[in-house]
Structure 1
Amino acid sequence: MFAIFASFYVAGRLWQDAQTRVHLIKELDRVTGLGQSAISVDDTLKIIACREKHKKLSALEMDIAAAGKEGFTSKRSSDTDGVVSKRRPLVVIGILTRFGSKNNRDAIRKAWMGSGATLKKMKKEKGIVSRFVIGRSADRGDNLDRSIDDENRQTDDFMILDQVEAPGELPKKAKMFFALAADRWDADFYAKVNDDVYVNIDALGAALTSHLNKPRVYIGCMKSGEVFSEPNHKWYEPDWWKFGDKKSYFRHASGEMYVISGVLAKFISINRNLLRTYAHDDVSAGSWFLGLDAKHVNEGKFCCSSWSTVSKLLLQEVSVSAKMRMLDRSYGLGFFIFSK
């Protein structure tokens, strides 16, 4: 009898200890976040789809409430042709810039981006949002930071990231732009552009409109360039050994300009802490979409090879603003007009 009761007692204590350990492990995972350290691609896409449905439901509820107050009369603004304006931006363009490139930024403002009322008008009428994207100085609060803050107070067209502005940080900078832009604007597309590239806004808008029915689209000048393993090479890739014996990159869009759809931008936003970067931002972006059912669109007008040799020769001795004026006349239908 004593042995039987002792067995029951020991078994009960062991079971109680096991339950206590399970509870402590769950609490530890909840507090530290280790229980959800990674999100699968399927789960991420489900989260995005759920968010989209919630946004559509919220928009419908707002429309119903507004209609009730106004006697079911729509207050949406229209242009001269009677076309209802879009509430949702078509594309958010992030122009990656750096310290010391104010001349490039001023040239872009004068050529196609505009400033002040013009910038707001482009968003309202064409659904295009443009911002210069830059990080912070390694010495926070120095003259470099203050000059950007002063410029932004005058123009109000910057997205200032909370990370160090340095050439080696460009891939992380591009990732943070897509993540923060997706958090801030609910747009159909998001574009990364260098600050020495001219964009034909009308042509870009028309092209992107034709891809609205593709939820996971990745548009750019697609290439699979050589991987360089020599440390002294300009395009050195420290992770060169990961790309196989042939040392060729996977298919990705050239870094001067590429566009991704809203779903892909939201995927980056959700997984920003898990997505790794390589030495170059365009390769890094291409790697993020390898495991997704993304449609790669090779757009020739995003490629430097689409420019004529004559125009390249004519531009060798002219200023940035002159480049824009000359190529605007020569390439009125192109998205890409020049790159230094």
Structure 2
Amino acid sequence: MRSRGSQNRLSGDSFESRFSALVLAMIATMATIYVAARLFQEAESRACLIEELEKRIGLGQSAVSIDDTLKVTACREQSKKLSVLETELAAARQEGFVPKQFPGNNKKHPTKKVLLVVGVMTTFGRRKNRDAIRIAMRDLVDKKGIIVRFVIGRSENGGDSLDKEIETESSHTNDFVILDNQVEAPEEKAKKIKSFFIYAVGKWDAEFYAKFNDDVYVNLDSLGGVLASNSDKPRVYIGCMKSGNVFSEQTHKWYEPDWWKFGDGKSYFRHASGQVYVISKSLAQFISINSFMLRTYVDDDVSIGSWFIGLDVQHIDETKLCCSSWSPGAICVAV
């Protein structure tokens, strides 16, 4: 007969054997998963390399270099890491661990919806015009969900008395958009308007964005009616539409250096007069997103109109916004 001690030793040996077999099975499983994952990654990389090879063959090249191979593999790995991080970030936001708006970025994530944001293009030495517009619009702006700001760049001399005068006025009125990276000069008008739309889209969430000159008065009550009648159109460009001649003579006041782009007839395309025009939110966002590649011309209103050529935009010819001529029910008149 076997002793109890012998039986215990056998039981212990049996347990150790089963435990060892279990550990080996787990290691084998993990190894299988690892190998499968590596094979999957290599298959993806091979697919990318085959695609790259086909492109190069089409360009007359016969092989993919080692550098190209490393680039494809590294790109694939970075894409996977980014995908994992995005998934984790989304999960953290869902659980409330990450704020939907990061501190310090509130200005870039507007929360209050308004009807209209108006940028009144002004310049140095025009305080009287600004005061006249302030008086005319004082009781209408807040009630109508309309934000009006005077837009100005910086002096060419940077920080001189002209800049200081605007800063002092702004500290009292609090109704300026001072574009620090924009020089205030006649030839910079189109770039200045572009900079305003970039700023406005980031600052305010509005249905419409408008540009006014500081030498016109606009009846905001009447303008609100025009906007309401076009609120169902996603991409609208509203103004006093016109065309006009392109001047190729360098001595002319409105000489257009790119005159040759407008054909033998040398006539500008249809665009809104620069005194007053309104664009919908989607068009303002388009300008903001693509600002780095939007070409400017000598006329700022031509520049704006050119940005919408080729887009699915509805041009609204609103004669009530023709400020140069008085007509019944006019919305725009000279200050």
Task: Give the TM-score category using the shorter length.
Answer: 0.5 to 0.7
Q: Give the match for residue 208 of structure 1.
A: 227
Q: Give the match for residue 233 of structure 1.
A: 252
Determine whether 1:92 maps to 2:117: yes
- Alpha-carbon distance, 1:23 to partner: 5.8
> What does 1:52-91 align with in structure 2 at a 5 Å threshold?
88-91=113-116
**Equivalent-residue separation in structure 2 for 1:106 and 1:277 (angstroms):** 30
**Equivalent-residue separation in structure 1 for 2:150 and 2:215 (angstroms):** 12
Task: Please point out which of 329, 334, 338 is paired with 2:334.
Answer: 338
Task: Please point out which of 129, 153, 161 is paired with 2:171.
Answer: 153
**Equivalent-residue separation in structure 2 for 1:306 and 1:220 (angstroms):** 14
Asked if 1 retains the 8 angstrom alpha-carbon contact of 2:324 and 2:333, the reply is: no
Q: Highest Rg: 1 or 2?
A: 2
Q: Give the match for residue 130 of structure 2.
A: 105
Query: Structure 1, unaligned stretches of length 5 or more?
Result: 1-13, 31-85, 309-330
Q: Return the letter of the residue paired with 1:133.
A: V
- Alpha-carbon distance, 1:17 to partner: 3.8
- Alpha-carbon distance, 1:269 to partner: 0.6
TM-score by length of 1: 0.66
Structure possessing the higher relative contact order (Cα contacts under 8 Å, 6 or more residues apart): 1
Indicate how the Cα distance of structure 1 residues 98 and 20 shifts in structure 2: closer, same or farther if over 3 A, else same.
Answer: same
Asked if 2 retains the 8 angstrom alpha-carbon contact of 1:300 and 1:306, the reply is: no
Q: Give the match for residue 132 of structure 1.
A: 150
Calculate the aligned-residue CA RMSD, in Å: 2.4
Task: Please point out which of 181, 191, 197 is paired with 1:172.
Answer: 191
Q: Give the match for residue 242 of structure 1.
A: 261
**In proportion to residue count, which structure has more strand?**
2
Determine whether 1:273 maps to 2:292: yes
Q: Give the match for residue 141 of structure 1.
A: 159
Counterpart of 1:279 in 2: which secondary structure? coil
**Equivalent-residue separation in structure 1 for 2:65 and 2:221 (angstroms):** 70
Q: Give the match for residue 307 of structure 1.
A: 326
- Alpha-carbon distance, 1:334 to partner: 2.4
- Alpha-carbon distance, 1:203 to partner: 0.3
- Alpha-carbon distance, 1:290 to partner: 0.6
Counterpart of 2:334 in 1: which secondary structure? coil
Q: Return the letter of the residue paired with 1:136.
A: R
Counterpart of 1:90 in 2: which secondary structure? strand
**Equivalent-residue separation in structure 2 for 1:137 and 1:100 (angstroms):** 12
Question: Deviations along 1:33-89, whole A, 9 cap, x unmatched?
Answer: xxxxxxxxxxxxxxxxxxxxxxxxxxxxxxxxxxxxxxxxxxxxxxxxxxxxx9521
Asked if 2 retains the 8 angstrom alpha-carbon contact of 1:93 and 1:191, the reply is: yes
Counterpart of 2:158 in 1: which secondary structure? coil
**Equivalent-residue separation in structure 2 for 1:136 and 1:144 (angstroms):** 8
**Equivalent-residue separation in structure 2 for 1:16 and 1:304 (angstroms):** 66
Asked if 2 retains the 8 angstrom alpha-carbon contact of 1:152 and 1:158, the reply is: yes
Give percent identity, aligned residues only.
59
Q: Give the match for residue 185 of structure 1.
A: 204
Q: Return the letter of the residue paired with 1:92.
A: V
Asked if 2 retains the 8 angstrom alpha-carbon contact of 1:196 and 1:338, the reply is: yes
- Alpha-carbon distance, 1:194 to partner: 0.3
Spell out structure 1 runs of 4+ moving beyond 4 A: 21-24
Question: Deviations along 1:154-203, whole A, 9 cap, x unmatched?
Answer: 00000011210000000001111111111111100011000000010100
- Alpha-carbon distance, 1:138 to partner: 1.1
Give the number of equivalent residue pairs. Answer: 240
Q: Return the letter of the residue paired with 1:246.
A: G
> What does 1:36-55 align with in structure 2 at a 5 Å threshold?
none
Question: Deviations along 1:223-282, whole A, 9 cap, x unmatched?
Answer: 111001112212111111110000000110011111000000000011111111111110
- Alpha-carbon distance, 1:306 to partner: 3.9
**Equivalent-residue separation in structure 1 for 2:198 and 2:67 (angstroms):** 44
Query: Structure 2, unaligned stretches of length 5 or more?
Result: 1-63, 80-110
Determine whether 1:195 maps to 2:245: no
Asked if 2 retains the 8 angstrom alpha-carbon contact of 1:197 and 1:256, the reply is: yes
Indicate how the Cα distance of structure 1 residues 127 and 23 shifts in structure 2: closer, same or farther if over 3 A, else same.
Answer: same
**Equivalent-residue separation in structure 1 for 2:332 and 2:245 (angstroms):** 24
TM-score by length of 2: 0.67
Q: Return the letter of the residue paired with 2:221.
A: D
> What does 1:9-28 align with in structure 2 at a 5 Å threshold?
16-22=66-72
